[in-house]
Amino acid sequence: MDPLHSLSKTLITRLSLLFSLFCITNAAAFNLTTITFNEGYSPLFSDFNILRSSDDKSVSILLNRLSGSGFISSDYYNYGLFSANIKLPSNYSAGIVVALYTSNGDIYEKNHDELDFEFLGNIHGKPWRFQTNMYGNGSTARGREERYHLWFDPSKEFHRYSILWTSQRIIFYVDEVPIREVVRNEEMGGDYPSKPMSLYATIWDASNWATAGGKYKVNYRYPVPPPECVIVPSEQELFKDTGRLKEAMKLKFGRRPRSHRRPRQLKAE
């Protein structure tokens, strides 16, 4: 069966995610300029479940009975501010996890670094929950998940979620409001994220744990209208020296080899 034909019959939800990747030294500088998906990203898995806008400046990632989906940045980055404007699935989305995160697990399988935003699905009328995570050098002893309730409905309109990662601290933002800060200290030793990472966005079925500890599962018969895509700015100036890895990258989940071009220098509008 043609995947797109199957998709139209089994679509449960659409995540409209307008992606921002930029590296800056000032956390207050949230003004962005735009690049296309093709310039900065590539499919991670199930590219038939990734819908790109006609101008290639926004993307929707889908979940159906066949698979979830996701994409990855074309380069590795060592420190910076990573941001996405996201509109989450509406109505019943129990069991669905949407994640924005940085990781280098494809290169450092046993001592990887990772920074996460994870949205844990929802039942209509209940407050949305999300969690943040930090892993450094493969250690789970520090920076484990912290869970929060959003003070708004994230399925009504786009909101900005950002991770500021520097050599001394990590700050998670919701709409430019800091909600968690991790400060590097001597006790961490080598357990602070310090190796170059890629940026990811994914959606998948996590019915066994995501909503109320797995009590509520994904319901593929539940009608979920796809939210509209709205174009917003999506990239600001990159560091001249990003620390991006030079050697050949591993292939995983059948994704395309990533480009080794240096990031372009862009001026904010």
What value does the mean pLDDT of the chain take? 72
Angstrom distance (rounded) from CA 164 to CA 212: 29
- Active-site residue among 39, 109, 114, 269? 114
- Over residues 253-267, the pLDDT tens digits come to 333 334 333 333 323
pLDDT at residue 229, as a whole number = 34
Angstrom distance (rounded) from CA 211 to CA 235: 33
Percentage of residues of the chain with pLDDT beyond 70: 69
- Active-site residue among 39, 118, 228, 237? 118
217, two tokens: 């599962």
DSSP 174-218: ETTEEEEEEE--GGGTT-S--S-BEEEEEEEE-TTTTTGGGTS--
- Over residues 140-199, the pLDDT tens digits come to 777 778 999 999 999 888 888 999 999 999 999 999 899 999 999 998 888 999 999 999
Percentage of residues of the chain with pLDDT beyond 90: 22
pLDDT at residue 31, as a whole number = 65
Residue holding tokens 């930029």?
22
Cα separations (Å) of 155 from 13, 110, 126, 204? 11, 36, 12, 17
DSSP 8-state code for residue 47: G
248, two tokens: 């050949």
With 60 as the cut, is the pLDDT of residue 13 above it? no
**Cβ neighbours, 10 Å, residue 232:** 13
19, two tokens: 């992606």
Whether 176 is a known active-site residue: answer: no
pLDDT category of residue 207 using cuts at 50, 70 and 90: confident
DSSP 8-state code for residue 136: B
- The CA radius of gyration of the chain, in Å to the nearest whole number, is 18
What are the residues whose beta carbons fall under 8 Å from the beta carbon of 145, sequence distance 6 or more? Answer: 116, 118, 131, 132, 133
**Cβ neighbours, 10 Å, residue 32:** 23
Q: What are phi and psi of 150, to 5 degrees?
A: -70, 145
CB 255 within 8 A of CB 72: yes
Q: What mean pLDDT comes out for the span 227-241? A: 33
pLDDT at residue 205, as a whole number = 84
The domain limits of the chain are 3-214
166, two tokens: 């520097």
Q: Where are the beta strands (DSSP E) in 128-197?
A: 129-135, 146-149, 159-165, 169-174, 177-183
DSSP 8-state code for residue 27: T
Whether 118 is a known active-site residue: answer: yes
pLDDT at residue 50, as a whole number = 86
Q: What is the pTM of this model?
A: 0.74
Question: Is CATH 3.40.50.720 correct for 3-214?
Answer: no
With 50 as the cut, is the pLDDT of residue 129 above it? yes
Alpha carbon of residue 236 to chain centroid = 17
